[in-house]
Structure 1
């Protein structure tokens, strides 16, 4: 909880026992990168040397008959063991507190955390707990938030207990439960035994810096009993990325839906991979709700009855029936839409159970073009019909923006048409790679209330579709995944079909690489070029790599303004370009990148010259490095007497 001490506000863990506050432990290292801005609200506690007396507010003091409480960095010394808090980010700091606390005799570590879900991230978290106790012993008790934070993050629970590097209890990672308790029975003698067997631990403990403590005359442990069964090491449960995409956004959507007061969800369903993925996630959400109700979760049941407007005594028992009550899907076709995508959208809607509509937008498009012709005397044409690039782009954007307006109109009025109270949330379906490249129309149907896949890559979504076709029971998704991605905003001709990757001038696989280098590895054009020369050097020449990097940065920079209005998206990848939360870079760049592109050209000439030199040189000089970039470092083992 936040605690004000003097003029400062601290983020604290408050430790209580038997209606008394035993200690207030302020956080010493704050999370201030990625998704977190703790320094905006809190200051870090820097007085590690001693504990201070904190004067409790009068109403708390009266309720507890307690005036002051120890405040600061330290641990609690019980009669039989020592317990300490390590708060969230502190575990991941370069010198975590648990190392020093273990040398001071602390055996049990409590970490109350707020760690959000991210694809393939759980292993990083668990490795930290295991590493904290594997070499120095200890019991690590980790608890975490669970559910939607009211915004883009989903906290994925997975509370666990680790003893001497072994996980002995693990909670669920994705759950609709409000609260979940994880329990283990452990023998603290195992901690003392391990520590006593490690000579280096004994030596370092003998000259440790002393940490302050609070003495509490209380026994935490039970005495030895034969009937007590100790918790055994478990095989850690990991979800595949495909399962994470289904359950993470699915649980987030449910939490968002039940807390927002909305009556349901509406999705523009094109029959393509992205919108079909969102539809499948909503279907998974409905399956999870029905499953939890069958398992006896009364809170989920009450929420489902309220949102689905069930009559007295009724509640969801079938996911398709529940989906029909709370989920609208709309295929908004035009003259450029194919029968294949229209059919795929209809079949998928039937499999999920949504209330599906098939709407033609040609009349609205024609009305707008007629208005434009009346104003200007000109009527734009598609490129395949002889029009310019400007005309072609304008005609595509008209269709895309009409779909956004229509989606919001249907979301607000369809409940009224069907005599339902409330409103529906509009779901977006643009993926992280399209956002990074800016391959979307500003304020088109990518503009919505929330977007479950806005930071998931196209490659991961395609793998998810193959998985969902089997494991969620939506078999039509296999056909959706096999179809080439297309926006279907241009006329289809016998010799021309619009394809996303051709339009973008880069593949989705390449976009994922660019995104990670740009955000996670903080690369500009020159450093990205260098990295990709090492990565792609066996299949592309330096000039080809340079052309790809320049092409990406050109469109990345001219489309950065679109990132300021991206729909709030479920956070699943750390290279999400949404600048309102994830990417705080500016959105105005010099799209010509004059210095950087000139430097890349210089490096290309240098590398091409080096290639010629290497070809002409003797074999024994071919491995000499030509620039100040990366060298080769080798590690090995050999005869210990041979020297270094």
Structure 2
């Protein structure tokens, strides 16, 4: 929470300064109004207990942010009003300014709104002006942006709520609230990052306190961008910036990573957790608002621009949010921002997401096909991390986590988890499904890691099941397929690998449904997938194999980051066997091992995992088609590859990306962590049926290769004559700027 202290002499005589205000992390759940209301009320109680004058809620916190097409149902809007009514007729808003996020319909249009209330009245409804509509967000599908920027209108409240609070209209639109002693305004999530953010104009109109309610998801290395936004909003124009965010799984692939914070004049003075199992978290700071006035008064440019500002509508509130100076409440000092390393993010983010999914799905545990390879070992380590977090929160006294753990682990009366390994034994099965093609090393790695994590481990051989399928096939067709190393064709080789992979999926689901029954426990287990983002991008997976599961904690994480996580987890999670897993060459172990042949993933893929990460970022983040990707990579890889070799690599990638794109339509829902994820339906809106030869685009690449080879000859002649060549002629474009994404530093524009 935020506290404010007395105004300086001569500024506002006899006016005390604002009291405390609070920013929150809440673990809301889409369409669970009962749960959401409970969390909202608890956050208000905590704010009041700390003497807060402001309680800042989250974006769409009453309904949950991830309702998606439920926002199109009138019931959703109606229930949101019913919840708000319940808050307003009670004493929740007495003496405290509260901002609640909810959807509202006005003149048949739906708006994403912040409803600002105090003393059992609605003071203002602020609709969102700039909607998030890219990447994971589709707000324009459900909401209308408020375009009457410098206008506020009267909104007729629904009859039920109007009668309950004896208020029939409320100002609706963009503006701020002028209290008797300070000025407050809302800014909603995406608006902070828009080209012309509202806070710039609002600051010139005298707004001192900015309230940003957000629904921002976790993505590796993203927090710095968000924090720089808060700091930049107040560094050169002054102000107090409060930020509240969702935290947890809202019902889909995203994990909202909290990190509520309070910033004053560019300094972070309070920061909440980024990853937590808590349902409610409130942060507190005490701030002297004189520093805002002092900074603004010292900036000549601010004074000049404020003198010629565009006026923003406002409403007056007959309340004070200020109090006198108290020595026992010291002013909060700037703190060092807490950033997690990417390896920590991979551990904590998916672990918290898994816990939410487990406790809300009413499942009684998790099952993982554990191969002893890097990907499935990462998933096992993440589940182990989840168990460690649960036990740690119980030790800290979190009764809600304790109750969930007792229910999921099916403990007897008076018992509860005190050891992460013991807890894992109750809720986590790992299964090594070996064949004659598997190595002793991978079997050993799986067994040792299972012991370190504490899972109930099964080591089974499935050769007999595979043999039965092949015998049936031989009886049906008279043919018996052979592996390529034994003289078989490509079709036979692929078919034999797919039989193993798909049988493992069938067996995993059978075990997940029946093993609890075997151990006299109720419920079912969720099957975990362990396909990474690079395998999905390339399509290096069997459709409906172990990539098909209930959920996937690592489906949007690159192989490079996963290897770094293995090294981190070996030390920080105490799973030392992961060191051996990390150095082992990646292999599916679906083909026979011979003295002169061992299957390797990168050989099967036809490219390295490092190359796949580059392709993925260029394709998704930089929005490159085959030709523009080729141009970029000519610069990126030009020192070690010829244009012809670059062209062949690009064509090879796009060919196999296209052939395998259909696999994304059935890909297991994955924790979102990487901005180049190819995941279908929610994030990557591209078709799944392609002409995989890309005839026009590949022909253009061939033409560019030919031209570049010709220009190299001209350059060689030019060098012989001591005359310079033109780099731009090599690619048919000019370099006019630079960016950086995993080493990609060039952007081309055609002549």
* TM-score, L = length of structure 1: 0.97
Deviation at 1:67, TM superposition (A): 1.4
Deviation at 1:27, TM superposition (A): 0.4
Deviation at 1:50, TM superposition (A): 2.0
Match among 403, 409, 418 for residue 308 of structure 1: 409
Alpha-carbon distance in 2 for matches of 1:633, 1:65: 59
2:217 equivalent to 1:113: no
Alpha-carbon distance in 1 for matches of 2:482, 2:344: 44
Match among 728, 731, 740 for residue 625 of structure 1: 728
Alpha-carbon distance in 2 for matches of 1:300, 1:632: 54
Aligned to 2:175: 74
Match among 124, 145, 154 for residue 246 of structure 2: 145
Deviations 1:594-615 (A, max 9, x none): 1111100110011111111111
Match among 291, 313, 326 for residue 190 of structure 1: 291
Match among 651, 654, 658 for residue 557 of structure 1: 658
Deviations 1:488-547 (A, max 9, x none): 000000000000000111000000000000111111110000010011111111011001
Whether the 8 Å CA contact 1:323–1:354 is kept in 2: the answer is yes
2:366 equivalent to 1:282: no
Alpha-carbon distance in 2 for matches of 1:305, 1:625: 66
Aligned to 1:641: none
Distance verdict in 2 for CA 1:440–1:53, change over 3 Å? same
2:701 equivalent to 1:600: yes
Alpha-carbon distance in 2 for matches of 1:63, 1:332: 62
| Mapping 1:153-192, distance limit 5 Å | 153-192=254-293
Alpha-carbon distance in 2 for matches of 1:331, 1:77: 65
Aligned to 1:38: 139
Match among 101, 124, 127 for residue 225 of structure 2: 124
Aligned to 2:192: 91
Higher strand share goes to which structure?
2
Deviation at 1:622, TM superposition (A): 3.0
Whether the 8 Å CA contact 1:263–1:423 is kept in 2: the answer is yes
Match among 140, 150, 153 for residue 52 of structure 1: 153
| Mapping 1:138-537, distance limit 5 Å | 138-537=239-638
Deviation at 1:625, TM superposition (A): 2.5
Alpha-carbon distance in 2 for matches of 1:148, 1:630: 45
Whether the 8 Å CA contact 1:115–1:155 is kept in 2: the answer is yes
Whether the 8 Å CA contact 1:166–1:233 is kept in 2: the answer is yes
Whether the 8 Å CA contact 1:574–1:582 is kept in 2: the answer is no
Deviation at 1:317, TM superposition (A): 0.3
Alpha-carbon distance in 2 for matches of 1:597, 1:17: 63
2:674 equivalent to 1:573: yes
Alpha-carbon distance in 1 for matches of 2:727, 2:385: 55
| Mapping 1:12-27, distance limit 5 Å | 12-27=113-128
Alpha-carbon distance in 2 for matches of 1:502, 1:519: 24
Unaligned runs of 5+ in 1: 635-644
Cα RMSD for the two superposed structures:
1.0
Deviations 1:577-606 (A, max 9, x none): 111111010011100011111100110011
Deviation at 1:228, TM superposition (A): 3.1
* TM-score, L = length of structure 2: 0.84
Alpha-carbon distance in 1 for matches of 2:416, 2:335: 36
Alpha-carbon distance in 2 for matches of 1:611, 1:194: 58
Deviation at 1:623, TM superposition (A): 4.6
Distance verdict in 2 for CA 1:278–1:633, change over 3 Å? closer
Runs of 4+ with deviation above 6 angstroms:
none
Deviation at 1:394, TM superposition (A): 0.3
Deviations 1:44-83 (A, max 9, x none): 1111222111111122112222111111000000111100
Of 575-584 and 401-410, more deviation after overlay is shown by 575-584
Deviation at 1:473, TM superposition (A): 0.2
Aligned to 1:11: 112
Deviations 1:456-478 (A, max 9, x none): 00000000000000000000000
SS in 1 for 2:295: helix
Deviation at 1:620, TM superposition (A): 4.2
Of 90-99 and 44-53, more deviation after overlay is shown by 44-53
Deviations 1:421-469 (A, max 9, x none): 0100000000000000000000001100000000000000000000000
SS in 1 for 2:286: coil
